[in-house]
Amino acid sequence: MACKLFVFALALAIVGTARAETAYITDQLYVSLRPGQDNDAPPIKGELSGTTMEVLQHANGFAQVRDPAGVEGWIAERYLSSDPPPKTRLAALQQQILGLTQELAEARNQAQQAQSGADRANSQLTNQQNEVPAPRKLTDVPQMHSPIAGIIVIAVTASFAMLIVGFVAGAMWLRAVNRKRLGGMDLRI
């Protein structure tokens, strides 16, 4: 029994020490830039995948290109794409995220400054409201007891009466004019 336990413990020790190793496949491919439209021609230069190339012309499944260093040659068209590789797009997206993160930090800073300004304005308004006297009651308003006040009240009342009389007289005149135009018929709407 002790022998079985010893073998079991030894097996556990061996299994426990074995670890899986993690590895990644790189996507760095080199494409040969050749002097002519022939895959058998010796390469002028190796171009790394993701390199931006200027296409000068297309012929027989090949493209004449110029690399950023100004070296010209031919590459099989199957190695060219109008879309940038994922590695390049990822780098551009990471730059965009970095820029947006900085803009967000600036916006938050501005929002905090605006909030502190609003808090200061609120406290100033509260202080000013505490200093404003209470509104007066209607009974606190002095009453007018002069003869001019009576004349003003009569003039305002007379003005409104004249306005109403003018409106009624105008409506009656307009009705008479329309009746005359319609040959005595009364137009009611």
For the chain, which residues make up each domain, given as ranges? 30-82
Rounded average pLDDT over 165-170: 92
**pLDDT-based confidence at residue 55 (cuts at 50, 70, 90):** very high
Confirm if 44 and 64 have CB atoms less than 8 A apart.
no
- The letter for the amino acid at 86 is P
d(CA 4, CA 15): 17
pLDDT confidence tier of residue 164, bands split at 50, 70 and 90: very high
Q: Give me the mean pLDDT over the 76-89 stretch.
A: 81
Mean pLDDT of 28-34: 79
Please state, in angstroms and rounded to a whole number, the distance separating the CA atoms of residues 189 and 181. 16
Q: Return the CATH superfamily for domain 30-82.
A: SH3 Domains (2.30.30.40)
Res. 15: pLDDT tops 60: no
pLDDT of residue 14: 61
Residues of the chain above pLDDT 70, percent: 74
Q: What is the pLDDT of residue 35?
A: 86
Q: Round the average pLDDT of the chain to a whole number and report it.
A: 79
* Residue 74: pLDDT over 60: yes
- CA angle 81/86/89 to nearest 5° reads 95
